[in-house]
Each structure stands twice: as C-alpha cells, then as structure tokens.
Structure 1
Amino acid sequence: MSNQPYEGYDPYQQAQQQPQPEWQGYTQQWEGQTWETQAQAPVSAADTAYVPTQGYAEPVYGHGTASLPQEAPAPAWTPAHQHSGQQAPGAGGPAHGPSGTTAQSLAEDAPGYGPPTVTGNPRITDAQRARAEGRSPIIEPGIQPAALTALLGLLLSGAAAIGEYALVVPLVLLQAVTAAGWFRLNGMWPARQGIALAFLGAVTADVALLATGRENAPAAILGTLGVWVLLTLVLQLRNHADPDTRMYGLMATVASAALAIVATGHLAAEPDAVTVGAAAVAVAILVRALPLPTAASVVVSLLVAAGVGFAVGGMTDLGSQGAFLGLGAGVCALIGHRVASYDYPSRFVHFTAGVALPLAAAAPAVYLLGRALG
C-alpha cells in the first residue's frame, strides 16, 4: 500500500472489481455500477475533520488512477492526516486502533461536547443550563443601559419644566424604544409590523392628548388603547399563521402597544410631577446597577429615589411631598427593570427594554401621585 495520502475521493468510480486499499484494518470492495454507502467501513472522527475545499482532483489510490466522469464531477476531500499515527487537528492525542475506539477517545478528549450521534445533540440555552446547575437564569441590564435610562430620565425631567411640547421629543423616543424592546424581550424578532403598530398607537395617544388637553387625559389614553386592541385583533384575523403563533403575536402586540401608550402618562401628568418622578427614576436605576447584593441594592435604590424626590420636589410646588412621588416612581421603575432582566435576554433587549421599561412603568405612578399630591 502506498504511503501517499489520499488526494481525492470519487463516488463515481467506474466498475472495476479490484481490491481497494485497507482502511485501518478494514477492506472495502466496489461492486458493479453501484456505490453503496451503507456498506462502507466506519470512518474515524479524526478522518472526517473539516478541511477547506481543495477543488477537483483525480484520486490516487496506489493501485492506479481513475479519472472523474465529466458529466458528474464530485468535489474532492483530503484526509486531515495520514494513517501512520499523525495527530488530527483538535484531537487530544494521536489516532490509533479501530475507528470506533478513535471516535470514543476523541469524544472523551473534547470537553463540552457530547458523544457523536446521527441526528446531533440539541443545544441547550444558557437559561436551561443555569437552572440545571441551580443558578438564577436572570441577567440584569447593567451599568450602560442604566446610564442611558438616567440620561433619558433627565431629559424628560428637564423638558417637563420647559413645556409640554418640549416634553414630546424625549417622550416619543421613550415610546419607540419601549415598543421595540418589548417585542425582542418576548423573543419575537424581526417583528417590524408589530413594533410599528405599537409605536403608532403611542403617537396617536400623544396627539389625542395634546388635542383634547390634560384634563381629558384618561379618555385620550384609554380610548386610544381600546382602538388599538381592536385594530390588532382585526390584523391578527388576517394572519394565516397557525393558531398558537397568531395568539402569541396578538398578546405581544397588545402588550407592546399598551406599554407604549401608557408612557403617555408622562405627558398627561402635572409638569412638576414629571420633573420629580423622572429624576427619581434616573438616579434609582443608576444605583440599582451598582455591584451590590440584590436586597441591599433594591433598598438603597428606593431610599435614593425618595431622597431625590424630596430634593427636586423642594424646587417645585410639591415640596417635601416629592419624596412620596419619588418613592412611588422608584418602585414602578424597579419593577420595569426586573421585567427587562428576564431569562437571559440579549444585548439588544438590555439596550431597549432595559432602558425604556423603568421609565414607561413609572408613568402611571407619576400621573396618579402627581394628581393626588398636587
């Protein structure tokens, strides 16, 4: 047998009943015009290692040369190593023994991989692995999304002191990020139509509130929400997907639109309440992102939110009552922060839902407490 490595493999070998080279102790015969893959000898895992495509070549077997048929060319493959004991790429040691022993040895030497199978091993998610190991599958957004939340909250706070039309600019940005983040948080991506529909509902609520006035805010917000739920139902009825997919899409769209529309509460609330509440949320989320134990972080964040509410409230007509508003906005913001931390979310989720949900969830508290305390 020639010591040269195989330079190619031809499944369309012409019918020649001649002995083929031995393959680690196994002998294979071609019979007639057929090439029966089921009768081939086992191949070691090292021999099937991936190598870049080398183009088309004529196979050399040591007993002669066979040319490729022109009507059915086949790509060549090159063994990763010779059979004289040379180590395959990535293997833990030299290949030896029958191919089954080699495959088992390679599987044992490769940590993180299961034994070779015909259908492949299903990939488990990070969340499933964390649960199996007894760890929490929750990852919080972190300091960078918290900094963006703080920046957006300060923009809302400052714009509210200027006027309602100035407040519309950062509010629309908040509503757009809320709509996109909620869809991705629910694993639905791309979902451009659902995101656009939810964002359009939020803008409609803003326009309706500006047209009817702050005193008619509940009717403008709830009326828009009702219309958008009906519109979403109609659109889902036209969807030809399976029932489970349609129901899941319906719930995600309704929830996304509801959160984006509820964020209009910042525009409906008293300007002083928005100034206090948005500032309290901004600082509370920053503190929550600090590397502290979870329980201590939550307590410190709420205390800081109340303190910021008290300080900023002293600059407005709310006075010391701003502490209660800051505390209430901080509680809702931490709930939104926790929702955005669910089940190993992606980086996109952290920089959309992780940024927007704390401020969007705080809007009802800012509106209600602002009216109660004002």
Structure 2
Amino acid sequence: MTNQPYDGYDPYGQQPQAPQTPQGWPGQGHQQGYPQGQQGYQGQQGYEDPYAAQQYTQQWQGQTWETQSQAPVSAQATAAEETAYLPPQGYEPPAPAPAPTPASAAEYGPATVAGNARITDAQRARAEGRSPIIEPGMQPAALTALLGLLLAGAAAVGTYALLVPLVVLQAVTAAGWFRLNGMWPARQGIALGFAGALAADAALLASDRSPSAILGTLGVWVLLALVLQLRSHADPDERMYGLMATVAASALAIVAGGYLAAEADAVTVGAIAVAVAVLARALPLPTPASVVVALLAAAGGGAAAGSMTGLGTSGALLGAGAAACALIGHRVASYDYPSRFVHFTAGVALPLSAAAPVVYVLGRALV
C-alpha cells in the first residue's frame, strides 16, 4: 500500500481549479500552460463545471435596458437643477394701481342703449348727476303711431275688425311688461297675462261690450295668479316679485280691452291722439317742452278727428286726456336705461294700453 499525503476530504475527487479568464480578455488561453480554450483540470475526473459555459455564452454586446432608459445620476441632478423653479432674485410685488380719479363730463359720450364696457349707462348717469333714463325714440314711436292708426281705422269698420289690432296690442303689452321688469323669458307669466286678455275680449263680446266683463276677468285672473305663485317652489321674495309682475301684466293686457268696450268714435279719436302725442314726444326737444308739445298736438289731433266723427270739438278734451295717459306709459317704458327689446315692446304698447281706460270713460261721457 502506497502512502499518499492527506489533502482533506474531497467527495467528488476534484482538484481546485484555477480562476478562469472570460473570452476576449488579455492572456486568455495561455495561463497555467494550458492550450487555448481548454481547462487544466478537464479530463481528470470526467466532470465539467456546469457554470463554466455560462461565462462565455452570457455576454451582452450592446447597451442594456438600464443604460437606455435611465440617465446617469449626475445627468438627472443637472436636469433637475435646470428645470427647478427658482424665484427671480430681487423680486418685488407690483405696486397697487392708483385709485381712479373722478372724470369730468367732457370725457363721456352721450347716453346710449348699447351700454358701456366698464360701467352701465345707468351707473354712469347717476355718477354724473343725470337721470338714468333713455326714452324709446322715434322708431318705437312710429310703431306706436302705426298701431294707433290701425286701431282707429278698425274701430270705424266694426267691432270684429277692431279685435285684430287689439289682440296684437294685448300680446305685446304682456311681453313688454315682463321684459321691463327684467324677467325674461317668463313664458308662463306672459301666457297667463295674454290668456286673461283673450278671456276679457271673449267676455266683452258675449256680454255686448259690458265693462263688467273686464272687471270680472281681472278679479279671476288675480286669484289665478295668486294660486299659481303659491304652488311655486321659488324663494318667498322671488314668488312675491313674480306675483306682482304677473298681476300687473295681466291687468294691463285686460284693461287694454277697454277699446273694445268704448264707443267707436271715441276709439278713433283717442287712438289718433295717442299716435300724434307719441310722435311729438320723440322729437329732439327738452323734456318739459316735449311734454307740452305732445299734449298740444294730441289736443289738436283729437279736435281734427272729432270733427270727422260725432264728437266735434269735444274731441280735443278726449285727445288731451288720452295723450296724458299715453305719456305716463311712455315714461314707464323709459325707466332706468331699458334695452332695445323693452323699447320695441313696452315702449310701443304701454302708451296705447294706458290710454284705454280714459278713452272708455271720456267716450261714454262726451258722446
């Protein structure tokens, strides 16, 4: 038995292997005196290292995913510094704007319906100490005169002919009143007021033009408007405001039916007087002078129309009374810089609607 030196227990009988050099490194295949591509211990026991092949096959030749998607730490820090928000050095908040100084009236133009980009025309007028009023003007006045002439001519023809321009007047009255109060679109209130006017006209025709039909319809419609507003889910203040607007619109539209209850000659004289008065009021004159001229023109127009009818010279009184009520309606339509739509609805209809009660009362007394 040959004695061999004891080297420790080696279960697989392998000798320690020399460190390997990956392929492509300097000195590969010339270490330990072995040929290139061979291992010094291969063939001693017939075993191969299972991880040895991976040292040569798992080699990345290009850039890895990490080098493509992530920038170096130094580059990220530089980018963060460049994109970080730094307030400018020495920054001072802007000084407050100086308070506006009151401007003189040479700096403002004449009052217009279009308004002002900075403040409303009504606010500007109040700041300057003027009345915030814009009157309808000549175009609405011309429409009022045209509608008045239609009423005058239709009254001379007959009752049912008068009904056509009267219905138009009542519809424009209901819509114009709601728009004058800033409530638009208020379809229910406008429809309710117009329906009351139609009901009053039907009652007048059914009762042989008795004025009690107007009063009865007005009472029923006030109660109906109250019931509808009580069923509303709006705020109490808004419901009260809507109630007043609905009642007023219905009342004006129903009262306009007084032309249907009045005498035909009185309707002719009163409608002509209103037409003349509104046209004279639209002339470019100072307000007091314009009112006086309008009343005088209406009296003259009423006298002329009375001479062609059975009223005679008493037509001047009827004309002046109708013109006074028409000017009140004209003034209401001019309240607080209204819009053009108000001028072409309330500005057209209110003068004629407001004159209807006087035409009926004076017509009954003078004829």
TM-score by length of 2: 0.71
The SS at the match of 1:147 is: helix
Separation in structure 2 between the aligned mates of residue 170 and residue 158 of structure 1, nearest angstrom: 10
The SS at the match of 2:88 is: coil
* Aligned residue number for residue 125 of structure 1: 120
Alpha carbons of structure 1 residues 23 and 213: separation in structure 2 relative to 1, 3 Å: farther
Which structure 2 residues correspond to residues 210-229 of structure 1 after superposition, within 5 A? 210-214=205-209, 216-217=210-211, 219-229=212-222
The SS at the match of 2:182 is: coil
Alpha carbons of structure 1 residues 23 and 179: separation in structure 2 relative to 1, 3 Å: farther
Separation in structure 2 between the aligned mates of residue 349 and residue 334 of structure 1, nearest angstrom: 16
- For structure 1, list consecutive stretches of 5 or more residues without a partner in the other structure: 1-13, 28-96, 113-122
Separation in structure 2 between the aligned mates of residue 26 and residue 223 of structure 1, nearest angstrom: 81
Residue-by-residue CA offset, 1:102-125 (whole Å, 9 max, x unaligned):
x859x99xx99xxxxxxxxxx753
- Shift of the alpha carbon at 1:133? 1.6
Matched, 1:285 2:278: yes
* Aligned residue number for residue 257 of structure 1: 250
* Aligned residue number for residue 145 of structure 2: 150
Matched, 1:328 2:321: yes
* Aligned residue number for residue 34 of structure 1: none
Report 1 or 2 for greater relative contact order, CA contacts < 8 Å, sequence distance ≥ 6.
2
Q: 1:347 aligns with which of 340, 343, 348?
A: 340
The SS at the match of 1:25 is: coil
* Aligned residue number for residue 307 of structure 2: 314
Residue-by-residue CA offset, 1:262-315 (whole Å, 9 max, x unaligned):
000001000000000000000110010000111111001000000000001000
- Shift of the alpha carbon at 1:350? 0.2
Matched, 1:174 2:176: no
Which structure 2 residues correspond to residues 160-309 of structure 1 after superposition, within 5 A? 160-214=155-209, 216-217=210-211, 219-309=212-302
Q: Count matched residues.
A: 277
Separation in structure 2 between the aligned mates of residue 135 and residue 23 of structure 1, nearest angstrom: 54
Partner AA of 2:159 in structure 1 = E
- For structure 2, list consecutive stretches of 5 or more residues without a partner in the other structure: 1-75, 108-117
Separation in structure 1 between the aligned mates of residue 137 and residue 363 of structure 2, nearest angstrom: 30
* Aligned residue number for residue 25 of structure 1: 88
Alpha carbons of structure 1 residues 244 and 296: separation in structure 2 relative to 1, 3 Å: same
The SS at the match of 1:234 is: helix
The SS at the match of 2:334 is: coil
Residue-by-residue CA offset, 1:1-34 (whole Å, 9 max, x unaligned):
xxxxxxxxxxxxx99742447788349xxxxxxx
Are the aligned partners of 1:272 and 1:316 in contact in 2 as well (CA < 8 Å)?
Answer: yes
Separation in structure 2 between the aligned mates of residue 243 and residue 259 of structure 1, nearest angstrom: 24
Separation in structure 1 between the aligned mates of residue 193 and residue 85 of structure 2, nearest angstrom: 67
Which structure 2 residues correspond to residues 105-144 of structure 1 after superposition, within 5 A? 124-144=119-139
Partner AA of 2:169 in structure 1 = L
Partner AA of 2:263 in structure 1 = E
* Aligned residue number for residue 57 of structure 1: none
Q: 2:94 aligns with which of 76, 93, 100?
A: 100
Separation in structure 2 between the aligned mates of residue 24 and residue 162 of structure 1, nearest angstrom: 85
TM-score by length of 1: 0.70
